[in-house]
């Protein structure tokens, strides 16, 4: 029982739940929430990516166990602390990865291919790409993007290129912010915990984050306008995206957070409320058009 508990812990169930939520983006924006088959397909895709992500976490923790033992927080992870045998974790990673890929091809062949690419990319990251400056962050971000694409492929819907661009830029924003937090929080010992951090500096990352932030905002604005055929009211969601990104930057720079986006999401009330308002507004615009028209008609 203890081994099973430590395996689940190492697979990061909280991060599996929230990070894979982007799988539902295509379902929502394609206005398929009311279709049972589409919802079921998106849930299957979500489950596949959740298990694949867990398998990747196990592999990464085995490979990084030596460095994790020197980290103030990661030293308590089951593999780094010795509570979970590395060979058992590696065997479980192979088993879970194979099972998830098999399930992915049962969803449909195209989704199986996306899931395979996601796993291959993450294995390459764990073995080598995480040691290559800039490429390390881009690789992580592409993993995020493949979840979005996989969610669309699983239910066979068109994915706007602008939605793809927005997803990639948002992932880059979160990943570079995480790198900045690691450098600032670990100080001079940063490279001892993650060698690639020696290639970065707070100033360099601030420049990149500034570029990615502005690009993300512009891309989202273009997407809401480009999606006029879906709804002409999507630009009403822009203020929520503006506040969400600005709030996150505030937490990164003033509160020295950003190392764990999932933790910020569930712990920062203003950000959580803003996301809830964005989701609610998107739902009303896409699924309750008549109500939105009536409300806006009062002010016209």
Q: Please indicate, yes or no, whether residues 78 and 195 belong to a single structural domain of this protein.
A: no
Over the stretch 137-187, which tens digit does the pLDDT of each residue have? 999 999 999 999 999 999 989 888 888 899 999 999 999 998 888 888 777
Assigned token pair, 257: 């957070």
Which of 105, 128, 159 lies at the terminal end of a domain, its last residue? Answer: 159
pLDDT of residue 74: 75
Between these two residues, 160 and 211, which has the higher pLDDT value?
Answer: 211
Residue 11 phi/psi, 5° resolution? -85, 0
295 found inside a domain: no
59 found inside a domain: yes
Whole-angstrom distance, CA of residue 37 vs CA of residue 41: 6
pLDDT of residue 191: 63
Whole-angstrom distance, CA of residue 148 vs CA of residue 26: 7
Q: Please indicate, yes or no, whether residues 169 and 25 belong to a single structural domain of this protein.
A: no
285 found inside a domain: yes
Is the sign of the CA dihedral 286, 288, 290, 295 positive or negative? Answer: negative
Q: Please indicate, yes or no, whether residues 40 and 183 belong to a single structural domain of this protein.
A: no
> pTM higher than 0.75, yes or no?
yes
277 found inside a domain: yes
Average pLDDT of the chain to the nearest whole number: 86
Q: Which of 172-199 are b and which e, b meaning 16 or more Cβ less than 10 Å from the residue's Cβ?
A: bbbbbbbbbbbbbbbeeebeebbebbee
- Domain encompassing residue 211: 160-290
Longest dimension (CA), the chain: 66
Q: How many domains does the chain have?
A: 2
Whole-angstrom distance, CA of residue 27 vs CA of residue 151: 7
Q: Please indicate, yes or no, whether residues 151 and 26 belong to a single structural domain of this protein.
A: yes
Whole-angstrom distance, CA of residue 72 vs CA of residue 77: 11
Tokens 């098999």 label which residue? 102
């Amino acid at each position: 029982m203890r081994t099973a508990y430590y395996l689940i812990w190492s697979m990061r169930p909280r991060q599996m739940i929230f990070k894979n939520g982007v799988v539902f983006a295509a379902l929502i924006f394609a206005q398929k929430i009311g279709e049972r088959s589409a919802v079921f397909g998106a849930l299957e895709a979500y489950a596949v990516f959740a298990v694949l992500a867990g398998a990747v976490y196990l592999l990464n923790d085995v490979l990084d166990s030596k460095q994790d033992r020197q980290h103030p927080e990661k030293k308590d992870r089951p593999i780094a602390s010795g509570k979970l045998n590395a060979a058992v974790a590696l065997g479980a990673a192979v088993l879970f990865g194979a099972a998830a890929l098999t399930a992915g091809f049962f969803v449909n062949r195209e989704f199986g291919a996306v899931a395979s690419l996601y796993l291959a990319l993450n294995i390459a990251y764990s073995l080598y790409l995480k040691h290559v400056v800039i490429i390390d962050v881009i690789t992580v971000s592409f993993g995020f993007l493949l979840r979005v694409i996989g969610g669309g492929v699983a239910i066979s819907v068109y994915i706007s290129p602008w939605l793809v661009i927005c997803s990639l830029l948002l992932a880059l924003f979160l990943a570079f912010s995480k790198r900045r937090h690691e450098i600032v929080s670990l100080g001079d010992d940063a490279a001892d915990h993650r060698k690639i951090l020696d290639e970065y500096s707070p100033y360099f990352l601030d420049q990149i984050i500034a570029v990615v932030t502005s690009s993300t905002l512009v891309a989202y604005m273009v997407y809401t306008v480009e999606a006029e055929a879906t709804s002409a009211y999507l630009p009403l969601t822009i203020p929520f995206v503006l506040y969400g990104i600005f709030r996150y930057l505030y937490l990164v720079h003033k509160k020295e957070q950003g190392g764990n986006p999932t933790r910020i999401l569930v712990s920062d009330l203003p950000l959580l409320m803003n996301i809830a308002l964005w989701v609610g507004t998107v739902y009303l615009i896409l699924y309750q058009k008549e109500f939105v028209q009536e409300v806006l008609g009062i002010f016209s």
